[in-house]
Structure 1
Amino acid sequence: MTLTDTRVDDRYPTRITGTPAQLPRVHPTVWGTEADGPIDAATLANHETKGYTVVEDTLSVGEVQTYWQELVRLSSDRELAQDERVIAEAKTGEVRSIFDVHEISDLIAELVRDPRVLDRARQLLGSEVYLHQSRVNYMPGFKGTGFYWHSDFETWHAEDGMPSPRAVSCSIALTDNHPFNGGLMIMPGSHRTFVQCAGETPDDNYKSSLKDQRVGVPNEDDITKMAAEYGIDQFTGQAGSALWFDSNIMHGSGNNITPYPRSNIFLVFNSVENALREPFAASTPRPAFIAGRDSTPISR
Structure 2
Amino acid sequence: MTLAESRTLDTYPTRVTGEAQLLDRTDPTVWGGEHDGPMDGAALASHDSKGYSIIEGLLSPAEVQGYWQELVRLSSDEELKTDERVVTEKKSGNVRSVFEVHRISELIGELARDPRILDRAQQILGSDVYLHQSRVNYMPGFRGNGFYWHSDFETWHAEDGMPKPRAVSCSIALTDNYPFNGGLMVVPGSQRTFVQCIGETPDDHYKASLKEQEIGVPSENDITKLAAEHGIDQFTGPAGSALFFDSNIMHGSGNNITPYPRSNIFLVFNSVENALVEPFAAKHPRPTFIGSRDFTPLTR
**TM-score class, shorter:** over 0.9
Q: Which amino acid is the alignment partner of residue 299 of structure 1?
A: T
Indicate the residue corresponding to 2:74 in structure 1. 74
How far 1:4 moved relative to its partner? 2.3
- Give the Å deviation of 1:2: 3.5
1:114 corresponds to 2:146? no
Instruction: Please state how far the C-alpha of 1:168 moved relative to its aligned partner.
Output: 0.0
Partner of 2:89: 89
Note the C-alpha offset of 1:101.
Answer: 0.0
SS state at 1:171 partner? strand
In 1, Cα distance between equivalents of 2:77 and 2:272: 34
Matched, 1:2 2:2: yes
Does the residue aligned with 1:7 lie in a helix, a strand or coil? helix
Matched, 1:223 2:223: yes
Instruction: Name 1:27's counterpart in structure 2.
Output: 27
* Equivalence for 2:274: 274
Preserved contact between residue 3 and residue 281 of structure 1 (Cα < 8 Å): no
Structure 2 residue runs of 5 or longer lacking an equivalent are none
Distance in structure 1 (CA, Å) of the matches to 2:281 and 2:14: 7
Alignment of 1:117-156 (within 5 A): 117-156=117-156
Cα shift at 1:18: 1.6
Q: Percent identical across equivalent pairs?
A: 75
Match of 2:167? Answer: 167
Give the aligned partner of residue 49 of structure 1: 49
Structure 2 equivalent of residue 293 of structure 1? 293
CA separation in 2, counterparts of 1:203 and 1:230?
Answer: 35
Q: Separation in 1 of the partners of 2:283 and 2:2?
A: 9
Give distance in 2, aligned partners of 1:47 and 1:120.
11
Q: 1: distance between equivalents of 2:118 and 2:2? A: 34
In 2, the alpha carbon distance for the partners of 1:216 and 1:3 equals 19
Distance 2:2 2:205 in 1: 19
Contact 1:31 1:126 in 2 (8 A): yes
Match of 1:252 in 2: 252
Give, in whole Å, the separation in 1 of the partners of 2:110 and 2:9: 37
TM-score (norm 2): 0.99
The structural deviation recorded for 1:6 is 1.2
What CA distance in whole angstroms lies between the structure 1 residues aligned with 2:143 and 2:3? 40
Shift of 1:155: 0.2
Q: How far has the Cα of 1:3 moved from its partner?
A: 2.7
Aligned-pair Cα RMSD in Å: 0.5
Distance 1:270 1:176 in 2: 27
**1:199 Cα deviation (Å)?**
0.3
**1:170 Cα deviation after fit:** 0.1
Question: Which piece of structure 1 moves more, 166-175 or 220-229?
Answer: 220-229
Q: Which runs of 5+ in 1 are unaligned?
A: none
